[in-house]
Amino acid sequence: MWEYTDKVKDHFFNPRNVGDLPGADAVGEVGSIACGDALRIYLKVDDQKRIVDVRFKTFGCGSAIAAASALTEMVKGKTLDEAMQITNQQIADFLGGLPPEKMHCSVMGREALEAAVANYYGLERKHLEEEDEGRIICHCFGVTEGLIRKVVRENNLNSIEEVTNYCKAGGGCQSCHMDIEEIIHEVRQERVETPAKQPAREQRKLTNVERILKIKEILEEEIRPSLQQDGGDIELVDVEGSKVLVAMRGTCASCPSSELTIRWAVEAKLREFVAADLQVVEVKS
């Protein structure tokens, strides 16, 4: 029998915010029956981007239900930005800890939240993964490279066993163990190099959704107003890995120097505020 804390038991026996949410502004869903657990989370968001109501449904074990219940309590009343700052470790901490083998329940909570926020902004699931990182590493549990990288990075994991505990990858036929080993190794390298090179504010690498949200925000607040002053406009079409696809509108669309605008105004700003590797590409309609 698992050693569950009283808080876990409480949230399992009396889960908070269970159910559907008619008229929800966002839905996020992760997991599947095949994998043994799944979580669907519904958000109601006001015009201040504050989560005013939340509901969940879970297929899963005791700690999966408890983690989902805990998450709903944690996000209620927070803005989407604030909610996105919640880490899987914080979900586990909120419950007074989870057995190591059950940490994947907290990760599932975090993933579902991210999916819901992406859904709110009309982004697709594919944006949850970085470029090339949507590749499935563990076929037994359908775990992508991106997720493995993320749990290793955020939770400082050092072994395959830990990775399995946090996202299930490697817990089946074991044929993906070499790949997981390699990812752990790469992230560990990254850990050694990071502290010296990067300034403090960039220590935590943005998740893909966070990055897309940030791109949207910068476009909205820093770039569009000045273009609009000149009767032009820009629209975010898509983000594919580090490629930001935009369409120019209004006077910008026909402006011969739009290429320069993109390079010097848009790309430079995005590189400064979001990520240095971003590349802005114009799509002509």
| Catalytic residue positions, numbered | 35, 105
Q: How far is CA 172 from the centre of its chain?
A: 25
By CB under 8 A, is residue 28 in contact with other proteins?
no
Is the Cα torsion angle 61, 111, 145, 203 positive or negative in sign? negative
C-alpha to C-alpha distances, 68 to 36, 94, 242, nearest whole angstrom: 15, 11, 32
**Residues 121-160: x/- map of binding to ligand FES (CB under 6 A)?**
-----------------xxx--------------------
Indicate which single residue of 175, 189, 226, 257 sits in contact with ligand FES (rule: CB under 6 A): 175
d(CA 171, CA 108) in angstroms, rounded, equals 16
Piece of 9-17, 93-101, 168-176, 255-263 that binds ligand FES (CB under 6 A): 168-176
CB 202 within 8 A of CB 178: no
The rounded distance, in Å, linking the Cα atoms of 104 and 91 is 11
- Window 62 to 81, contacts with other proteins (CB under 8 A): 62, 64-65
Q: Which does 57 bind (CB under 5 to 8 A by kind): ligand FES, other proteins, none?
A: other proteins
Contact yes or no for 98/8 (Cβ under 8 A): yes
Q: 45 touches which of ligand FES, other proteins, none (CB within 5 to 8 A by kind)?
A: none
- Report residue 281 as tokens: 């590409």
| Piece in contact with other proteins (CB under 8 A), picked from 61-69, 174-182, 227-235, 245-253 | 61-69
34 contact choice in other proteins, ligand FES, none (CB below 5 to 8 Å, kind-dependent): other proteins
- Is 146 a residue that touches other proteins (CB under 8 A)? no
What is the C-alpha to C-alpha distance for residues 126 and 263, in angstroms, rounded to an integer? 26
DSSP 9-53: HHHHHS-SSBS--TT-SEEEEEEETTTTEEEEEEEEE-TTSBEEE
Helix%, strand%, coil% for the chain, nearest 5: 50, 20, 30
Scanning 15-23, 49-57, 64-72, 174-182 for contacts with ligand FES by CB under 6 A, the matching segment is 174-182
Q: Which of 5, 10, 21, 29 binds other proteins (CB under 8 A)?
A: 29
Shortest approach of ligand FES to residue 163 CB, angstroms?
Answer: 10
Q: Is the dihedral of CA 160, 29, 54, 17 positive or negative?
A: negative
**Hey, what are 43's tokens?**
């958000």
**Residue 171 or residue 232: which is nearer to other proteins going by CB?**
171
Each residue 83-102 as x (binds other proteins by CB under 8 A) or -, in order, gives ------------------xx
Q: Which spans of this chain sit near ligand FES (rule: CB under 6 A)? A: 138-140, 169-176
Q: Which spans of this chain sit near other proteins (rule: CB under 8 A)? A: 2, 12-13, 15, 18-20, 29, 33-34, 36-40, 57-62, 64-65, 101-102, 140-141, 164, 168, 171-172
